[in-house]
Structure 1
Amino acid sequence: MKKFNWAIMGPGSIADRFAEALMPSQKGILYAVASRDINKAQAFADKYSADGVPNKADGTFHQADGTPPKPYGSYQQMLADPEVDVVYIATPQSLHYEQAKMCLEAGKHVLMEKPLTINAAQTEALIALAQEKQLLLQEGLWSRFMPCFEQVKLWLDEGRIGELQYICSDIGFSFGDREGHRLHNPALGGGALLDLGVYSITLSQCLMQEHPSEINAMSHFGNLQVDENTIVNMRYPSGRCAQFTCTIAAQASNSMTLMGSKGRIVLPYMFWNGNKATLQQEDVQDEVIEFAHRVNGFEYQIEEAMNMIEKNQVCSDFMPHGDSLAVMQTMDEIRRQIGLKFSPDAERM
């Protein structure tokens, strides 16, 4: 069986987690890594092998035949390699549109780190291009692919908490005053909303199974012109509501609670990691389910991407294009209300 040859664009910390999850795959290999800095690409490639054979002495990986993945010092060179099947884009969100467009035009399938782009117009354009080229374009919002959230949806479908009425979540960490950090940089699509709030938006959308019809948002901006603290209320066509806060200036509880007419479901600390869900009903002992990822949680979206390519699908049922677009439309409206603007270069088409 021919394995899928994966390439990585942007060899940073998120790419490390992706590579670790790809190592045990029976269907894919880490074939190449590309960066504008060849030294970064080389250093990353040296850590991993296509077969994932660990060297316990130094924690690196070495390919069985001694050859690491191919390093490329330019994205164009990597995309010109006919052996590359699918590209994982792990760069800042301000670069997502330009780079995904480049990959699709080169005939490569794309798995994109969330969010898909930084505005709805860019997302809509990429979806149209993927459909035209009949190539996979999958937003790698990892929570949507995890067994934990399939279990939560099953509880909801079974009516275990009655009618779902309200979802409340908060997400955030204190990043201090690190001026150089990408989350503090409007040119890179920084701020709490796109990087953290997106989890609350997409999971509320997924679990409500509808898109908000009314949105009210407020925010506090720091000195660096990005949203540090944002609170959002959303009402859906059914009349149900969701509320979330996101912050890059404070330590949040990082939990999500789904409240129904007969009970509730609690997703505890770092709810987006999909490690645990608790079903709570009146006069009934709590039902707790814990999930241990096979690797680190990235494996689900990787396997789904390869399954979709095999089936000649342009998107996944776990994260369909319509959901990615609706999430971006929601974030566009929140940005409009709170006055969050990015650089013209980041917003361009």
Structure 2
Amino acid sequence: MVKVAVIGAGKMGISHLSILGAHPDVTLVGVCDTSKMVTDFLQKYSGVPCYADYKKMVAEAKPEAVFVAVPTKFHYAMIKDILDQGIHVFGEKPLCLSPQEGKELASLAERKKLVNQVGYHNKFIGTFREVKQLLGEKAIGEPYHFTAEAYGPVVTVRKKATWRSDPKEGGGCLLDYASHVIDLVNDLLGPVERVKSSLLKSIYSEDVEDSVYSLLELRSGLSGVLSVNWSDDTYRKMSTSITIQGTKGKIISDANELKVFFREADCPPGYSKGWNVKNLTDFQENVAFYLRGEEYSSQIDYFIDAVQGKVPNVINNFHSAWLTDHAISLIRNTAN
């Protein structure tokens, strides 16, 4: 059994707690949050020891792994402190507010040989995993263009200030929303090396951007478009998709459906010339505990397996999250 503690009992922290609480290889030894109302409730109904100070929790509960689900501005100092104590860390996205901080954490975790992971859940969605498999097989030939998109109804009216409206807290469409899409591009096609130009547009917010439009160039030389808008109320929830055009075909995928076009009859098994349409259920692996989507459980299963030495720590580690932090910085520095 892996002794696990959670810092931050907001939306993602509660999600992680629910999955960890049902995990057969996990013992929850502590929860930390600054809201006494939240910790009193958790203490009463879950029986898990609760704390207001994470340092006290780590000292008393002695976890082997800690989930950090607090605002991004706290990530660097908190995660560094936990790594220094020889504890494995799962952090929420994005990793840090600056690529320099993220790179330092990645190097520290590597030196100490600690398992490290960041919550970019798209890598655990079956359709996107299949896209990566097809690209690895060169099934659509050489990619020559991509369009990576995400739209959703996060900020659709002018409202009072929250953490989402404060760039120092990690707010804004670029850090909170576009980071998921950038990380997916990095994983499927290669890391962003250069950003040719960017537009960060405010629609309803005053101090942060509500939409991000960028021309990206990857390490491979492949270029494409990033288009993200969290003020689009024609969507019920966040919808992430990627379109990749290649010399032998085309891929269009979101979290629910994969469409692939092959120009030639020489296709991977299970596919045929012309258009192929497959659903998430064709690829998604079953999980023992379902909450919000299989990917949220799958990422935690992978982290716990990595802590136990069952799988290598190569998906969503701090190094890959730092590459996303770096791309975010490039976009911000080229914004008009």
SS at match of 2:34: coil
Specify the alignment match of 1:35 in structure 2. Answer: 33
Specify the alignment match of 2:297 in structure 1. Answer: 299
SS at match of 1:150: helix
Query: 1:21 and 1:260, CA in 2 relative to 1: closer, same or farther beyond 3 A?
Result: farther
Specify the alignment match of 1:136 in structure 2. Answer: 115
In the alignment, is residue 246 of structure 1 matched against residue 243 of structure 2?
no
Larger deviation, residues 195-204 vs 161-170: 161-170
Mapped contact 2:91–2:117 kept (Cα < 8 A): yes
Kindly report which structure 2 residues correspond to 1:1-349, keeping only aligned pairs within 5 A, or say none: 3-46=1-44, 48=46, 68-174=47-153, 175=155, 176-221=157-202, 224-251=206-233, 254-268=240-254, 271=255, 275-282=256-263, 284-291=274-281, 292=284, 294=287, 295=290, 296=293, 297-311=295-309, 316-338=313-335
Please, what TM-score do these two structures have when normalized by structure 2?
Answer: 0.84
C-alpha separation in 2, matches of 1:46 and 1:146: 35
C-alpha separation in 1, matches of 2:45 and 2:144: 48
Mapped contact 1:204–1:242 kept (Cα < 8 A): no
C-alpha separation in 2, matches of 1:27 and 1:116: 26
Could you list the structure 1 runs, at least 4 aligned residues long, displaced by more than 6 angstroms after superposition: none
Paired amino acid for 1:233: L
Specify the alignment match of 1:64 in structure 2. Answer: none
Extract unaligned runs of 5+ from structure 1.
49-67, 340-349
Specify the alignment match of 2:270 in structure 1. Answer: none
Larger deviation, residues 138-147 vs 191-200: 138-147
C-alpha separation in 1, matches of 2:262 and 2:310: 43
Larger deviation, residues 88-97 vs 20-29: 20-29
C-alpha separation in 1, matches of 2:159 and 2:170: 16
SS at match of 1:311: coil
- Shift in Å, 1:12: 0.7
Mapped contact 2:191–2:323 kept (Cα < 8 A): no
Mapped contact 2:151–2:232 kept (Cα < 8 A): yes
C-alpha separation in 2, matches of 1:169 and 1:105: 37
Mapped contact 2:148–2:185 kept (Cα < 8 A): no
Mapped contact 2:117–2:315 kept (Cα < 8 A): no
Mapped contact 2:142–2:248 kept (Cα < 8 A): yes
C-alpha separation in 2, matches of 1:278 and 1:142: 21
Please, what TM-score do these two structures have when normalized by structure 1?
Answer: 0.81
Query: 1:115 and 1:223, CA in 2 relative to 1: closer, same or farther beyond 3 A?
Result: closer
Mapped contact 1:134–1:312 kept (Cα < 8 A): no
Query: 1:99 and 1:312, CA in 2 relative to 1: closer, same or farther beyond 3 A?
Result: farther
C-alpha separation in 1, matches of 2:126 and 2:240: 19
- Shift in Å, 1:168: 0.9
C-alpha separation in 2, matches of 1:46 and 1:287: 48
Paired amino acid for 1:85: E
C-alpha separation in 1, matches of 2:253 and 2:45: 34
Extract unaligned runs of 5+ from structure 2.
264-272
C-alpha separation in 2, matches of 1:29 and 1:298: 18
Work out the number of aligned pairs and report it: 312
C-alpha separation in 1, matches of 2:240 and 2:184: 13
Mapped contact 1:139–1:324 kept (Cα < 8 A): yes
Residues 54-83 of structure 1, C-alpha deviations (whole Å, 9 max, x = no match)? xxxxxxxxxxxxxx2111121111111243
- Shift in Å, 1:160: 2.4
- Shift in Å, 1:117: 0.8
Residues 93-138 of structure 1, C-alpha deviations (whole Å, 9 max, x = no match)? 1111122122223332110011111111110121232233332221
Specify the alignment match of 1:56 in structure 2. Answer: none
- Larger relative contact order (C-alpha < 8 A, sep ≥ 6)? 2
- Shift in Å, 1:318: 1.5
Paired amino acid for 1:156: L
RMSD: 2.4
- Shift in Å, 1:191: 0.4
